[in-house]
Amino acid sequence: MFEQIIITIATAATPLLIAAIGELVVERSGVLNLGVEGMMIMGAVAGFAAAFTTGSPWLGLAAAICAGALFSLLFAFLTLTLVTNQVATGLALTLLGLGLSGMLGETFTGQPGVKLPLIYIPVLTELPLVGRLLFGQDPVFYLSLLLTGAVAWFLFRTRAGLTLRSVGDNHGSAHALGINVIRIRYLAVMFGGACAGAAGGYLSLLYTTQWIESMTAGRGWIALALVVFASWRPWRVLAGAYLFGAVSIGQLHAQALGIKIPSQFLSALPYLATIVVLVLISRNRRLTMINTPASLGRPFVPDR
């Protein structure tokens, strides 16, 4: 029973972790992308459609990543090239993604999905307690952990990561030093979109193995909150994702055990926890100001 709960927590946390890690890179470059939810849902519908059509969940995952990246490219063009308001554009793309995915996925509603396979290693997967958790998960679970480590190494151990952080902290100074601010932000936004698409594909290819309209159910917003919760640090994002995953799964098990608490309240717990965490973080204004990229959300036009 305990092992199964831990496994379900890991499954619930994986899409949050992938989407949040992508958004962390975007925000470290100084761009605030509130369109994560829209990119996730587009990845979910594209992934399911590709997997259902071809019979290959791997092609479905690739399609989900491409869909998220392409949708993020639209966001980048509007905000970085046309210099539209980042907050308004992100919200608009979320609404567009929710509506467009509902239209594209209408024919796939109720259709059986194609599930990503789980890894099985003889002897190791059969170990008690830790076997299924450490050696019997899906490949995307391991990829999410590797992605977290890779982003942490990139941001704080490489010259390219230092350049990206300098763009997020002071894009004017970075431009004066000859750094192509717009190009770096384009690449960061596309990386974040690809991660959001992969997170959405995970939902339709493994978490539920079917297409359901609006199936992201606010996970994109939780991913955004996770970045702030983690103070823009990758390993803290990992801890936060599993914390929120535990809250999500905990409310399901509470309902299954028949705990006499209104089911609506239990279902709202993950989002209530998000609000509580943000309120607690906002109380320490000094810590927030120190860790927040100084140019976050600020438009950059080279010739001004």
CB atoms within 10 A of CB 136: 18
Beta strands in the chain (DSSP E): none
Task: Supply the pLDDT for residue 87.
Answer: 95
Residue 25 belongs to a domain? yes
- 185-223: per-residue pLDDT in tens? 999 999 999 999 999 999 999 988 889 998 998 899 999
146: domain range?
Answer: 2-217
Q: Within 13 A of 183's CA, how many CA atoms are on the CB side?
A: 7
Residue 263 belongs to a domain? no
- 62-115: per-residue pLDDT in tens? 999 999 999 999 999 999 999 999 999 999 999 999 999 999 999 998 888 888
Rounded to whole angstroms, the Cα distance separating 303 from 294 reads: 20
Task: Supply the pLDDT for residue 179.
Answer: 94
Rounded to whole angstroms, the Cα distance separating 230 from 238 reads: 9
Task: Supply the pLDDT for residue 267.
Answer: 67
Residue 290 belongs to a domain? no
Question: C-alpha angle with apex 34: 230 to 298, nearest 5 degrees?
Answer: 85
Rounded to whole angstroms, the Cα distance separating 219 from 165 reads: 26
Count the domains in the chain: 1
Rounded to whole angstroms, the Cα distance separating 66 from 198 reads: 9
Residue 43 belongs to a domain? yes
Residue 241 belongs to a domain? no
- 235-292: per-residue pLDDT in tens? 999 998 998 888 877 766 666 666 666 766 766 777 777 777 777 776 766 666 677 8
Residue 84 belongs to a domain? yes
Residue 259 belongs to a domain? no
Give the residue carrying structure tokens 């396979």: 117
Q: Place 13 in a pLDDT band, splitting at 50, 70 and 90.
A: very high
Q: Note the pTM of the prediction, 2 decimals.
A: 0.92
Rounded to whole angstroms, the Cα distance separating 260 from 160 reads: 53
Question: C-alpha angle with apex 138: 12 to 194, nearest 5 degrees?
Answer: 70
Task: Supply the pLDDT for residue 136.
Answer: 83
CB atoms within 10 A of CB 43: 38
* N- to C-terminal Cα separation, the chain: 61
Residue 273 belongs to a domain? no
Average pLDDT score over residue span 12-29: 96
